Structure 1
Amino acid sequence: MTSSGVFYRKWRPQTFNDLVGQEPISRAIRQAIITGNVSHAYLFCGPRGTGKTSTARIFTKAVNCVNTTEGNPCNNCTICISVNEGNAIDLLELDTASNRGIDEIKSIRDKANYAALESRYKVYVLDEAHMLTREASNALLKTLEEPPAHVIFILATTEPHRLTNTIISRCQRFDFRRISTKIMVERLRKIAAAENVSVDEAVFDAITRQSTGSLRDAETLLEQAITSFGSPLTIQDVNMLLGLAADERVRDLIGHILAGNVTNSFKLLNQLSTEGTDLVQLQRQMVDELRDMLLIKFGGSELVVQPSEIVEKQSHMIMNIEQETILVTLRAIGQINSRMDMPSTLPLELAILSSIQNSSTNNSSDNLEVDSVSNPLKRSTVETPVRLNPNPEPKNESLAIEIANTSNTNYKNTDSGTSQGNPRERDSTLKEEWPRIIKALSRIKARRFNMGALLRDCWEVDLDGETLRLGFSHKSHMERFMDEIDNPESKRGLISTICDIAGTNLPVDVSCYLLNREGDAKKPKDNALVQAAINLGGNIVEEREELPQ
C-alpha cells in the first residue's frame, strides 16, 4: 500500500478533469473561467459526497492560478499548493452549521472589504448554508448582491429549499447529481489499483450500492474494508463488515417468498439474523432484488445494474411468477418502517406473511391459510378471550362486561352484494359487528376528527331502510361526527367499512340524533356494544350507577 491518509482526502479531485459524475457543471465553470465571465456568487446544491466542496476548492485554484490550462489549475504554483495543503490565506471556508449566527456573517461582511493578500480573488465558501439563521441570511443579502470586485461567494448546501428565495436569486445555481454506480465502480477500481490492493469485483458493486450515489461514502467504506482485512479483499469480508447477506441467500429468500413458502422463508430469515446479518440492510437488499425482478418482468432488464449472469438467473426465477405477485411483495417489504434499528425479525416476518396472503388472494393459486397481517379486520377467528369495556362510558351508568369461551367464535363476513336478509337480521348483524367497525374506523386517517373515537360515544345504532341511524350521548361528539362525514371521502370510508365488516347492504344516508340523558337513558342491554358482547357469549356481571359529580 502507498502512504497512509484518509481516502476521500487523499483522492480528492484536484482539477475539473478529475471531477467525476459532474461533467456538465465542470464544463460550465471551466468555460466561465476561460472567458473571464466569473460570477460573484455561486450556489452548489446536491446530496452529500457528490463533489460540492471539491468543486469549490478547484474553482478557487482556477480563478487565482497564473498557469491555467483550459480552465484547469496547474497545481504547481504557490496559490494552488497552498489551497491543496489547506493553508491558503484568501480561501475562507466557514461551516455555517456551527457558525450560523448574525455575528459571524457581520464579521465576513466587514472583512470582505479588505483586498486579497496573495491572490486575485478572495473566495468565501459557506458550507451547509441552509443552516444560517433568518437574521444571518438577511445580513448577507446586501454583500451577496453587490460584493467587492475581489470577492466571490460559494454557498454549498444539501437542502436548497431551506434557503430564502432572495439568496437563491442572487447566485448562479448548480445542482450536483448522485454519482452513478458505473462511475463509482471505475473510481474505486482505480483507487484499489493505486493502493496495490487486490479486490474482488463483487466488492465494488456491494460498496457502491451501499453508498447510494455518494462517492465520499464509497471511498470511506473501501478504506475501512482495506484497513480491516487488507489484501486480497473478498466479498465475504465486505459482507461481514457491512452486515450484509450474500446476494445468493437474499435471492433464495425472495424465491421462497414468491413461491409462497412461509416455512422456508422464516427459516432462512431467522438463520440470517442468527448469523449477525443487519436486518435493516437485509430489507434494503430485498427491496433492491425485488426491484430488479420487477424491472426484468416489465421488460426493463437494461436498467438492472447487475452482471448479465445474475440478470439471467433472476429472469429464470420469475419466469412463472405473476407481475402482481412481485409488486405486492415489493410493496410489503418496502413499506417496513425500520427507523434506525430493527432488532427483531418480526417486521420482516409480518411483511412476508402479508405479501404471501395478498399474492395468493390475487392469484387464487395458493392454499396457504394465514391470518391477514396487513388488515387485521379480515381475520376470521378470535383466538383469545376478550374483555370488552367501552370507553368513553355513558355518564348515567358504567358497565363492566366479561366475555368468556370465545376461542372458536367465527365472524361471518358476508359479501355485501349478496347479503340481503330481512331488516331485523341486518340490524342484528350491524350491532354485533359494531365494536369491530369502530376499531376499523379508528385506523382510517380522518380529515379533521377520528370517526372511530367519536363513535365510541354512540349508544344507539340501527338501520332504518337505507339510512344508518346513530344516537349520541354528547352533543359535541355528534356535531364533530356530522362535520366529519360532510366530507364525501370520510362518508364513503364510513359506509364502505360498515359494508366490508358487517356484510350489510350499503346504507345510502347517515342520520344522527342526540339521546335524552335523563328520560331516554338506555338500559344496558339496549346498548350496541353490550348487545354485541352478549351475542358473543358474554354476560353482564355488574351494573354500576355513577354518582353525580
Structure 2
Amino acid sequence: MSYRALYRVWRPQTFEDLIGQDHVTTTLKNALREGHFSHAYLFSGPRGTGKTSAAKIMAKAVNCLDGPAAEPCNHCEACRKVMDGSLMDVVEIDAASNRGVDEIRDLRDKVKYAPSEVRYKVYIVDEVHMLTAEAFNALLKTLEEPPEHVLFILATTEPHKLPSTIISRCQRFSFRRHTARNMLHHLQTICQSQGIEADEVALATIAQVADGGMRDALSLLDQVLAFSDQTVDESSVAAVTGSVSRSTLRELMGFCLDQNLTMALETVNELLMDGLEPERLVHDLIQSSRDLLLLLAAPELQEVKERLAGESQWSSLAEQTSVERLETMLDTLIQAQQQMKWAALPRVVMEMTLVRLCQQESPKTDRSNEDQATTIRLQQQLKKLEQKVEELSRVRPSERSKPLSDQSDETIKSPGSSNNQKLAGTERLGAFLQESSPERLQQLIRSWPEVLAKVKEQKITVHAWLIDGEPVAATDERVLVAFKNKIHRDTTEKKTHKTLIEQVIQEVLGFPLQLTTVMKADWEQSRRSSKPSVSEEAVNDRGSGQPNTSAGTSDPVDCAVEWFGKDMVEITD
C-alpha cells in the first residue's frame, strides 16, 4: 500500500519537530548531551500529544552512531532501522493487548541479554496503565534496577491508574495538550507543503474539533481531503465532522438573541434533516456562546483573538447582547446537554431549549424589569410609612416617643422605673385591646398553624423563634403576638425576620397585617387593668343612651363573655 496517513507521514523525527512540548524536549536534549539520561521514563498526557513519538526519538538518540546525542542524525543505520521498525533491540509493546503477568515475566527474562546491534536495548511500553496488578508487581524489581544496557520508556494517557511504586521508579514527563494556535500553524504548514488549498476558518474548525490532539487533527484533515478532492473549506469540514458551520451558528445565535423563534426552529429543522445530531448542535452552541462571552468579558484575551480572527460578524453579534444574557444562555444550554444524555427524544429537548433561549429577555427589558421591581418595592415601603403615620396619629403625643414593643420592654427591663412609664405602656396595650376585633383574632388563630408552617418552609430559624409566641389580639391593620421568652421576642423583632413573617401572614390571610410583639406578662397585666368595673359600664351606658346588658349581672363569667366573646373565654372548674 503506497499511501500513508498524514499523521504517519508527519510524525516528528527529531526533538525540534515535536511542537508544543518544549519543557520535555529541552530536558531530554540536555540529559542526552551530558550523558545523564535515566534508565526509566514515564511519558503521560492526552492522546495525540507526541508521547510515542518522543519515545522513538529517544531510542534513536541513545543508539545513534554519532551519539548518544541531543538529536538523532536520522541517516545512520541505527536511526533508519528505528524509523522503519526493523531494529530488534528497540521493542515496542502494546500493554493493552499484552497486559498479563506472563508477558511481563517473558520481558523480564529477556532483559538480561545484551543488545545485538546497538548500545542500548529500549523497551517502549505504550498504554502501560492497562497492565494488571500482578504484571506491575512482576515489573517492579526489573524497572528499579535493570541492566546497564536497558532503557524503559512507559507511555500512558491515564497516569492516575499507575501504582505509586511504578511512578517513583521513573522520571516523569507530562505532555501538554496542543494549543489551537500551534495546531493551526502546523496544519497550515502541512497544507502548504502538500500544495493543498485550505481556508483558515476550516483549519481552525479542525483544530477546535481535535481538542488538543495533533493526531486527531491530522486524521480529520486526511478525511476532509478525501471528501473534498484536495481542497479544505468550511462546508467540507462541517460535513465530515458532523458539526455546524460558523456562519450557520452565527445566524442561529442571532435569531436567539433577536427572539426570532420561528427562524431559529426552521434553521434547526434544516440542520437535523441534513443528519446533524441534536447533541452536536447543542455542543456547538455552547462553544459559540462561550466565545461571545469571552469576547465581551475579556476582549484582549489571546485565545479569543485567535478563534474569532477575521470574523467581524461575531463582534457585531456580541454588541447586541450582554454578559448576563450570555451567562443565562450558557446555563440553559448546559442543562439541555445534560438532559439529552437520558432523553428518549433529544430533538424535543433541543426545541424546548430554543424556546427558552428566544424567550429570554433582552438587556433593556431586564433593566426595565429591575426598575419596575424597584418601583414596587418603594411603593410598598411608602405604604408602610403611611400606615405608621396613621397609627401614630391615633396615639397621644406622650405615647409617640416610643413604639409599643419598646414601651413594654421598658416595663420589663427597668423594675425601678416610675409608675407613669408603666402606666403609659399599660394604657397603650389597653388601647390595642379596645381596638381589637374578636372575629379577626379568631380568623388569625385558625390560620396560625399554616403561618408557622410556611415560615418554617422559608426559614426554619425564624420558625424556631416565632413558635414561642401566640396571637392575642388583632385589628384590621395589626396583629399582637405575645411571647413568653424575651430572647425569642427580640429575635422576632429583627427587621428581616419581621418582614418575612408579615409576608407570610399576607399570603395566608390574603391581606396585610403589621406584626407587633409584647411580653405575655405585660399583656396579661394590661388586660386585667383594662377591664372596667360594672358600675362604670352602667354609667357609660346611661350617658350614651345605650342599654347595658351586663349592668344587671354580677357574674364575672358573664362579664368576661360579654367583653371578649364566648369564643375567647374558656371556663374551667
* TM-score, L = length of structure 2: 0.63
What letter is aligned with 2:260? N
Question: What do the CA deviations read for 1:134-153 (whole angstroms, capped 9, x no partner)?
Answer: 11111111111111111111
Tell me how far 1:357 sits from its aligned partner.
Answer: 5.3
Instruction: Check if 1:35 corresponds to 2:34.
Output: yes
Question: In the alignment, which residue of structure 1 is the partner of 2:276?
Answer: 277
Which residue, out of 347, 350, 375, partners 1:348?
A: 350
Between the aligned partners of 2:315 and 2:363, the Cα distance in structure 1 is 24
Looking at structure 1, the residues matched to 319 and 349 of structure 2 have their Cα atoms a distance apart, in angstroms, of 28
What's the CA shift string for 1:13-49, capped at 9, x where partnerless? 1111111111221111111111000101101010000
Question: 1:136-215 maps to which residues of 2 (within 5 A)?
Answer: 136-215=135-214
Asked if the contact 1:279–1:342 (Cα under 8 Å) also holds between the matched residues in 2, the reply is no
**Equivalent residue, structure 2, for 1:409:** none
Task: Quote the Cα distance in structure 2 between the aligned partners of 1:327 and 1:41.
Answer: 48
Partner Cα distance (2:507, 2:259) in 1? 29
Counterparts of 1:192 and 1:149, CA distance in 2: 44
Deviation at 1:427, TM superposition (A): 5.7
How far did 1:351 drift? 2.9
Against the structure 1 CA distance between its residues 176 and 184, is the aligned structure 2 distance closer, same or farther, given a 3 Å change threshold? same
What is aligned with 1:90? Answer: 89
Q: Which residue of 2 aligns with 1:322?
A: 322
Deviations 1:388-437 (A, max 9, x none): xxxxxxxxxxxxxxxxxxxxxxxxxxxxxxxxx946457679999xxxx9
* Contact in 1 for aligned 2:321/2:363 (Cα 8 Å): no
Q: CA deviation at 1:363?
A: 5.8
- Greater relative CO (CA pairs within 8 A, separation 6+): 1
Output the amino acid matched with 1:65.
Answer: C
Query: Does residue 1:239 correspond to 2:241, yes or no?
Result: no
1:123 maps to which residue? Answer: 122
- Which has the higher mean CA deviation after the structures are superposed, 242-251 or 338-347? 338-347
Count of aligned pairs between the two proteins: 394
In structure 2, the CA distance between the partners of 1:430 and 1:10, relative to structure 1 (3 Å rule), is farther
Matched-pair identity in % = 38
Residue in 2 aligned with 1:508? none
Contact 1:423 1:465 in 2 (8 A): no
Does structure 1 retain, via aligned residues, the 8 Å contact 2:89–2:116? yes
The equivalent residue for 1:50 is: 49
Distance (Å, rounded) in 2 between the aligned partners of 1:233 and 1:244: 15
User: What is the alpha-carbon distance in structure 2 between the residues aligned to residue 50 and residue 341 of structure 1?
Assistant: 35
Match of 1:100 in 2: 99
Higher helix proportion (structure 1 or 2): 2
Change (3 A) 1:427 1:266: farther
Cα distance between partner residues in 2 of 1:108 and 1:270: 58
Which secondary structure does the structure 2 equivalent of 1:37 belong to?
coil
The alignment partner of 2:310 has SS state of helix
Distance 1:426 1:180, change over 3 A: farther
Give the TM-score taking structure 1 as reference length.
0.65
Stretch moving more, 139-148 or 341-350: 341-350
Q: What is the SS of the residue equivalent to 1:325? A: helix
Q: CA RMSD in A?
A: 3.4
CA pair 51-342 structure 1, distance change in 2 beyond 3 A: farther
Residue 113 of structure 2 corresponds to which residue in structure 1?
114
Equivalent position of 1:309 in the other structure: 310
Query: Contact 1:60–1:123 (CA<8 Å) still a contact in 2?
Result: yes
Q: Distance in 1 between matches of 2:219 and 2:508?
A: 61
Query: Structure 1 pair 253/140, CA: closer, same or farther in 2 (3 Å)?
Result: same
Q: Aligned equivalents of 2:80 and 2:334: distance in 1? A: 48
- Contact 1:141 1:166 (8 Å CA) reproduced: yes
SS at match of 2:198: coil
Contact 1:45 1:160 in 2 (8 A): yes
1:77/1:424 CA distance change after superposition, 3 Å: farther
Aligned amino acid, residue 264 of structure 1: M
* Contact kept? 1:329, 1:352, Cα under 8 Å: no
- Aligned structure 1 segments of 4 or more residues deviating by more than 6 angstroms: 340-343, 428-432, 502-505
Question: How far is the alpha carbon of 1:263 from its aligned partner?
Answer: 3.1
Structure 1 counterpart of 2:218, one-letter code: E
Deviation at 1:266, TM superposition (A): 2.2
Contact 2:31–2:37 (CA under 8 A) maintained in structure 1: yes
